[in-house]
Chain A
Amino acid sequence: MAPWAGAARAGSPVRSAPCAPARTGPAAAAAPPLLAVRGLDVCYGRTPALRGVDLALQPGEAVGLLGPSGCGKSTLARAVLGLLPPGGSVTAGAIAVRGRDVATLRRREWRQLRGAVVALAHQEPSQALNPVRRIGDQIVSVLAAHGWARRPARARAAALLAELGLGAGERFARAYPHQLSGGQLQRAALAQALACGPALLIADEPTSGLDAETRAAILSALRRRVEQGMALLLISHEPAVLAAVVARSVALPAGAAGEVPAAKRRVASVAGSEGEGVPPRRDEAPERTPNPGSTELSAVTGWNEATRRLSPRPLLRAAGLTKTYTRAGRRVPALEDVDLTLSRGETVVVMGPSGAGKSTLARCLAGLEPADGGTLWRAPEVGPLGVQMIWQDPAGALNPRLRVGELVAEPWRIAGGVPRRERERRAAELLEQVSLPGAWLRRRPAELSGGEKRRVGIARALALAPAVLILDEALASVEPELREDLLGLLAALQARRALAYLFITHDAELARRVGGRRLILAAGRMEADACPAS
């Protein structure tokens, strides 16, 4: 019998956490740690992703995992659940859950462990939910897989959604993933992970891409769970998020980089709380070329100068834009009478809470979705391909089967007229402009970190030399250092190409950092059209 089987029994729909996690206490002191990772090496093919990682979690303990983009945080989470993608394998070290080495688990035992003992909330919820099944059903099937009966499972799913602020009766349980906003999806995916009351939750960036209010709600829900005895491994690049929930943080250095001495690659365990977690150490990956648009503030100032230098020439103008979706027979307004003008070289920031219609506005302006009413005017110089998007979800926007080189060159291939050699040369050039080494043309999206996918997304959007770039939460879950990099890059690009940016974000701090004209969207209406404090 598996050592956790006693605690993970999920048969009875008792109201208080049916899969009751082991409590910390005098008795538990002698028990093996809930999760023990020793000297773990993970490789994708021959490329190392993790080297010599050590980590231990006691039952009920909350630990944060900090690390820069691309350091293998998500790989660690997947390795614990035995869900490494094809090509990935544990090459050394061991993972033990409740004292049992997971390498010895049989398929059936894995199934009992996943979800009930260790649950994973994925970083990209839009990818983690099945597009053709209702949210409620997806939570119910997790419960059903662990022995729950239909009716109590439904009640529990509704309770979980309500707990995470997706109340409103059956509405969210009956919705399909494509009907929800990014923030709502994130909460739905978290509800799915919490469904069986796991002994350990691995939350991979659970608050990325969320507005401050929702973020606070999620963090307090996590804190509540930890108080009830759940162990938590919280993966984030933001020390502030970690400090809000966990007592102890662990930093994972850039794992795959081959230059760091082995001793330094070991996880440094740091005690302390309230922002005392080690700041993300960004070991310089050797192949990375220096950023052409430097991260200096001067570059960002140059951005505003570029704006001033050019006389305002409108590129894009929307007047009285209206868009209504029909959901389950009811009409849900997404945009109501929105006016907006975007001029050459200008930066406009659209702010608003989750579900305010920000993404809908972006899609309408980019011509990806027809508006129901109002007018949308484009300057002739913009052309049919002159408005490009950089997406909220970098993984969803990249075809996983294509290589980076093909992804960046795809717009030229579709437009035609550019020979293959030329496409490759230009793709390498664009990659360099977004600070990725040319050798990465051969990689596939699955081999990139979240931050690197974003850079590829930017390169791809630039391929057709657009006049307008719409950035839909494109910098939402990027760690501060990389964000500065990307902002600097965007500023340099704007100065060079006189691009107009439409930044869509929920993050006031980021909006302030970006500068430019600021618009606030709430419940589909433009609420304010404030000029920035100079």
Chain B
Amino acid sequence: MPGIVSSALRRLLHGALVLAAVSVLVFLLMQLAPGSYYARMRLNPQLSPRTVAALEAAQGMRAPLPVRYWRWLRSVAAGRWGYSFAYNAPVWPLVRTRVAHTLWLTLTALLLAWMVALPLGMWSAWRRGHWDSRAIAGGASLLLALPDVVLALALLALALRTGWFPVGGMHTLGSRHWDRWAQLRDFAWHLCLPVTVLVAGMLPTLVRHVRAAMAEALDAPYIAAARGHGIGEWRLVFGQALPVAANPMLSLLGLSFGALLSGSLVVEVILGWPGLGPLLWRAILDRDPYVVVAAVMLSAALLVGGNMLADLGLAWTDPRLATRGAAAASRSEAP
């Protein structure tokens, strides 16, 4: 057990280092990007150059990069995550609610996508060479070829023409005064279109990975051996092949966590979802640096955290990895 704890601690430390490196990199990139918030402001003839310079100095943007980085770190420690020039407010309260909205959307989509992809991929692997397996593979390829934007626009047109679905937002106006159940239904109704687009975007990759992992596991000689012992197909697939195939699937799940905040940007902008996407999009156009940094850092944190969870899951499902970790731990303990 101490082996697991120490390896988890080591992973946490690695994660923190990765995040620190990402923050430095993002700061450098923001610096290298041409233009700035105040450069745009100077184009405004109603503001005197001196006012703009004073504002810039007041926000500390005249200070050298390391100083700004240090100030940003202190601001993160204080829970403000820097200051948004465009919104004239600390970044964290601005980002927090939008992150929650985005996570509602993307977590629902991720869950649905896996719930659809797992059975489809497993069925497709088990029925390899049959018409239904080919149909699934063909459908996945078709979806893969269809850009998100096209699908989002098509669904938007559908919603506009028919009025079956809301064309934007998270709630109907005035729904605040409805009872809880009606509010929930309203929310789900608003979720339909963006979730559909996101699921359609994730599905082909997931199906193909699940199919490949399962097909490889089902081809293994020990599955043939188990079949030779009279174990039924159902148990072969779920009891024997799935635990083996779980390894690559968990890695993929960890990666898809990283896309939870960033993957829905386009969809949110097109379908008017009040998430992080529109905020980030505006921030990038406005050169509002700390909002961008905060969004990137949150994405990176999700990616690191997702991979850590996936590694934990791997250690749990694949005993060969667990022993290797433990062996490494016992090695490091040895004097």
Taking each of B226, B229, B317, which has the highest tally of chain A beta carbons within 10 Å of its own beta carbon? B229
CB-based A-B contact count at 8 angstroms: 107
Q: Cβ of B64 < 8 Å from any Cβ of A? A: no
Q: Do B330 and A128 touch (CB < 8 A)?
A: no
The docked-state distance in angstroms from the alpha carbon of A83 to that of B222 is 12
Interface residues of A in 81-129 (CB under 8 A from B): 81, 83, 85, 107, 110-116, 119-120, 122, 124, 127-129
Q: Cβ of A307 < 8 Å from any Cβ of B? A: no
Q: Cβ of A173 < 8 Å from any Cβ of B? A: no
| Chain A: minimal CB distance from B70 (Å) | 41
Interface residues of B in 205-259 (CB under 8 A from A): 220-233, 235, 239-240, 243-244
Given contacts A124-B221, A131-B222, A131-B244, contact A81 B228 (CB under 8 A): yes
Binds A, one of B20-28, B295-303, B320-328: B320-328
Interface residues of B in 98-143 (CB under 8 A from A): none
DSSP class of A's interface residues: helix, strand, loop or mixed?
A: mixed
Q: Cβ of B334 < 8 Å from any Cβ of A? A: yes
Closest to A10 in B: B230
Q: Cβ of B313 < 8 Å from any Cβ of A? A: no
Q: Do B1 and A111 touch (CB < 8 A)?
A: no
Q: Cβ of A529 < 8 Å from any Cβ of B? A: no
Q: Do B330 and A130 touch (CB < 8 A)?
A: no
Question: Contact partner of A115 among B228, B243, B318, CB < 8 A?
Answer: B228
| Chain B: minimal CB distance from A200 (Å) | 13
Residues of B within 8 A of A327 (CB): 323
| Chain B: minimal CB distance from A455 (Å) | 21
| Chain B: minimal CB distance from A84 (Å) | 10
Chain B contributes a number of interface residues (CB within 8 A of A) equal to 32
Residues of B within 8 A of A124 (CB): 221
Q: Do A112 and B230 touch (CB < 8 A)?
A: yes
Q: Do B231 and A145 touch (CB < 8 A)?
A: yes
DSSP class of B's interface residues: helix, strand, loop or mixed?
A: helix
Question: Contact partner of B231 among A132, A142, A178, A325, CB < 8 A?
Answer: A142
Q: Do B221 and A178 touch (CB < 8 A)?
A: no
Closest to B128 in A: A86
Q: Do B222 and A114 touch (CB < 8 A)?
A: no
The docked-state distance in angstroms from the alpha carbon of A256 to that of B41 is 85
Q: Cβ of B3 < 8 Å from any Cβ of A? A: yes
Q: Cβ of B176 < 8 Å from any Cβ of A? A: no
Q: Do B327 and A325 touch (CB < 8 A)?
A: yes
Closest to B331 in A: A372
Chain A contact-residue range equals: 35 or more
Q: Do B229 and A193 touch (CB < 8 A)?
A: yes
Q: Cβ of B45 < 8 Å from any Cβ of A? A: no
Q: Cβ of A179 < 8 Å from any Cβ of B? A: yes
Residues of A within 8 A of B318 (CB): 132
Interface residues of A in 166-204 (CB under 8 A from B): 176, 178-179, 189, 192-193, 195-196
Q: Do B244 and A132 touch (CB < 8 A)?
A: yes
Given contacts A132-B243, A331-B330, contact A127 B228 (CB under 8 A): no
Residues of B within 8 A of A443 (CB): none
Closest to A85 in B: B224
Q: Cβ of A329 < 8 Å from any Cβ of B? A: yes
Residues of A within 8 A of B240 (CB): 130, 133, 141
Taking each of B222, B239, B323, which has the highest tally of chain A beta carbons within 10 Å of its own beta carbon? B222
Q: Cβ of B319 < 8 Å from any Cβ of A? A: yes
Q: Do B227 and A130 touch (CB < 8 A)?
A: no
The docked-state distance in angstroms from the alpha carbon of A415 to that of B330 is 33
Taking each of A83, A129, A141, A325, which has the highest tally of chain B beta carbons within 10 Å of its own beta carbon? A141
The docked-state distance in angstroms from the alpha carbon of A502 to that of B323 is 28
Q: Do B227 and A83 touch (CB < 8 A)?
A: yes
Given contacts A131-B222, A132-B317, A326-B3, contact A145 B232 (CB under 8 A): yes
Residues of B within 8 A of A (CB): 1, 3, 220-233, 235, 239-240, 243-244, 317-320, 323, 326-327, 329-331, 334
**Beyond A127-B220, A128-B221: 15 further Cβ-contacts under 8 Å?**
A83-B224, A83-B227, A116-B230, A130-B223, A130-B244, A131-B244, A131-B319, A138-B226, A145-B231, A176-B319, A178-B319, A178-B323, A326-B323, A326-B326, A331-B330
